[in-house]
């Protein structure tokens, strides 16, 4: 079937992409450690992290597939088991082998996640009588050109931008300290994005189905519901975290209590990011993935440019402001793209 060929093509692309980045990390670990992080002693740990890179790439494909099947209960079950397993693995392996064990535990946890997702996908394929086929899969190259390629390219460019900004800050005189403060403060981001992320994961396939069935009114209602829930949840959680930032950061140690200003700013940035992710949904539902590529390019350029001007003097706070600017611009671009889609404009954000 056509769906089987599409899944086969996507799986090959995913394995190839994950393998490429994992092998690249193995080969260039020393150079990345020395010139990227100014810490040549972590090269062996980066090589171990190649396991994580490979399986986390496969996991993203698996989550997308299960989301397409609307297997949300199974996803929740897998995520729970994986979260508990990852915690136990990290504790055990770190206790036994220190930093090496901690790095290895990331890869083992990603492998566990892959296996659990694999079992869930196998069940869904059997339920829907779908057989993944690799024969003549390149007949579906339109999927590769219009979806897989721009998605992979967007992820690659965005990841390079984030890595470059982190590496630039680490190489500053007090870079490691600033990176530690930023990382601790950025833990707020995961908490703020958790509930909106769950809602968006459920709503996205529903929106895609409604677009396919041309149910414009229902689509508008579901999308508006998602926007409202995302705004309320992210603002509420961010406000709570901002008010308790000093106490929460103190958990990381005495040296982190001074990062409250960074944490509060990241909380606000996270609200903007949540809304940007929410308004990205029309691009996905209507298949405007190349528009997303344009947004990511602009996001990356702004992030890197402002980082270069602010991090040297302001450290972690400067990096947080760079993210704020990048997400504000991406949100504006998503709003403009949504307006164009609503008006049934031609798919070009650049030429008109």
55 and 114 Cβ atoms separated by less than 8 Å: yes
- Predicted confidence at residue 347, as pLDDT, reads 40
- Predicted confidence at residue 350, as pLDDT, reads 38
CA distance to 91, 101, 219, per residue, from 98 (Å):
10, 5, 50
- Predicted confidence at residue 124, as pLDDT, reads 94
- Predicted confidence at residue 257, as pLDDT, reads 64
List the chain domain ranges. 1-135, 145-345
- Predicted confidence at residue 344, as pLDDT, reads 67
307 and 319 Cβ atoms separated by less than 8 Å: yes
Q: What is the mean pLDDT of each run of 10 residues along the chain (352 residues)?
A: 84 88 92 80 89 88 83 83 83 84 88 94 93 84 76 81 86 84 81 86 85 85 93 94 84 71 92 94 86 92 95 92 97 92 55 38
Helices (H) and strands (E) in the chain, counts: 12, 0
The model's pLDDT over 180-217, given as tens digits with 9 standing for 90+, comes to: 888 888 778 888 988 888 888 888 888 888 888 888 88
- Predicted confidence at residue 258, as pLDDT, reads 67
Angle at 155 between CA 265 and CA 319, to 5 degrees: 25
């Amino acid at each position: 079937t056509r769906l089987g060929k599409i899944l086969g093509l996507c799986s090959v692309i995913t394995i190839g992409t994950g393998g490429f980045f994992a092998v690249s990390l193995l080969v260039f670990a020393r150079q990345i450690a020395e010139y990227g992080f100014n810490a040549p002693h972590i090269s062996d740990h980066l090589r171990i992290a190649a396991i994580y890179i490979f399986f986390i790439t496969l996991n993203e494909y698996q989550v997308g597939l299960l989301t397409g099947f609307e297997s949300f209960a199974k996803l929740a079950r897998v995520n729970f088991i994986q979260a508990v397993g990852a915690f136990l693995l990290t504790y055990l392996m770190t206790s036994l082998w220190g930093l090496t064990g901690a790095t290895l535990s990331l890869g083992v946890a990603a492998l566990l996640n892959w296996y659990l997702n694999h079992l869930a996908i196998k069940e869904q394929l059997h339920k829907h009588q779908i057989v993944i086929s690799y024969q003549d899969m390149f007949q579906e190259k339109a999927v590769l050109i219009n979806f897989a390629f721009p998605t992979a390219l967007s992820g690659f460019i965005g990841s390079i931008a984030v890595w470059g900004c982190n590496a630039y800050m680490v190489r500053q005189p007090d870079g490691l300290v600033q990176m530690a403060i930023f990382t601790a403060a950025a833990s707020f981001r995961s908490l703020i994005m958790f509930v909106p992320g769950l809602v968006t994961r459920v709503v996205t396939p529903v929106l895609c189905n409604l677009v396919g069935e041309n149910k414009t009114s229902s689509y508008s209602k579901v999308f508006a519901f998602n926007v409202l829930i995302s705004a309320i949840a992210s603002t509420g959680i961010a406000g709570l975290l901002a008010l308790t930032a000093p106490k929460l950061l103190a958990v990381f140690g005495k040296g982190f209590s001074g990062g409250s200003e960074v944490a509060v700013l990241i909380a606000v940035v996270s609200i903007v990011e949540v809304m940007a992710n929410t308004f990205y949904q029309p691009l996905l539902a209507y298949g405007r993935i190349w528009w997303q590529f344009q947004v990511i390019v602009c996001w990356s350029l702004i992030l890197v440019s402002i980082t270069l001007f602010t991090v040297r003097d302001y450290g972690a706070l400067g990096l947080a402001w760079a993210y704020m600017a990048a997400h504000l611009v991406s949100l504006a671009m998503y709003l403009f793209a949504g307006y164009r889609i609503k008006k049934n404009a031609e798919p070009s954000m650049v030429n008109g």
